[in-house]
Amino acid sequence: MYAIRSTIFSIGYSVATVFYSTLAVLLFMLPFKTRHKMIISWTIFIVWWVNVTMGVKYRVSGNINPDTQKPVVVLSKHQSTWETFFLQGKFWPSSTILKRELLRIPFFGWGLKALNPIAIDRTNPRESLKQVRNGAKDRLDAGYNLILFPEGTRIGVDEQVKYARSGADIAIANNVDIIPVAHNAGHFWPCNKGKKRAGVIDVVIGEPISPEGKTSKALIAEVELWIESQVAALPAPLSISVKKSEQEHG
């Protein structure tokens, strides 16, 4: 049964990726933000589709409807692929940072490019830092929120690494607040390509953290403490049996 559900998810994921990537090319003459809003529905679809096919649900607590009339930097725990989709829909309009090579992947890369990411060259750390700083300012000035994962890469649910200061540096340089996000998505959509597991992802969105009067070291330490303490305080992952999930969608 798992194999069937997983196959259905993969087919839907692939078809949606090709569809939205092609749409991004066909709509290139529309104003960028209009096109961006249409393409971002791809990420919303994936969050819905993994729920329907694999029973991966979610619930949000804390600052459920954050005020982003003024652009913010969103700093999130990074355990899974799931949050990369969820956050872009939740904090629209938003931009993320990714490695440049991803944009060269047929269809998938076209869709990513349409989401206005900051693409960096990881083989050149000095140049990539410059790209991040310049790209972040451009996106924030244009009214986009900026989504970053301060751990640098996806890590296992039982792992913890020191947070990078880049998000704090950007917040200070551009005088924008940070909104921290904690979650346990790695239990249900593992980072190591393990099997997806039906259940409920808990997402906690924090109140804005002001960078005013703080060093990047102090600011990222505040963010890290909040996120890690929230993750530690989350209830035990709530799994849902396949049978129950099917009944709920039946």
Average pLDDT over every residue of 3-19? 94
* Class of the domain covering 2-249: alpha beta
Spatial distance between the Cα atoms of 189 and 13, rounded to a whole number of angstroms: 14
21-52 per-position pLDDT tens digit: 888 878 877 887 788 888 889 999 999 999 99
pLDDT in tens, 172-182: 999 999 999 99
pLDDT at 185 (0 to 100): 96
Predicted pLDDT of residue 240: 59
Q: Strand 199-205 and strand 178-183: pairing?
A: antiparallel
pLDDT grade, residue 169 (50/70/90)? very high
| Amino acid at the residue 233 | A
Mean pLDDT of the chain: 88
Following DSSP, what letter does each residue of 192-233 receive, concatenated? Answer: TS-----EEEEEEEPPPB--TT--HHHHHHHHHHHHHHHHHH
pLDDT range class, residue 84, cuts 50, 70, 90: very high
Say if CB 174 and CB 198 are below 8 A apart. no
- The model's pLDDT over 202-228, given as tens digits with 9 standing for 90+, comes to 999 999 999 999 999 999 999 999 999
Q: Are strands 94-99 and 145-148 parallel, antiparallel or unpaired?
A: parallel
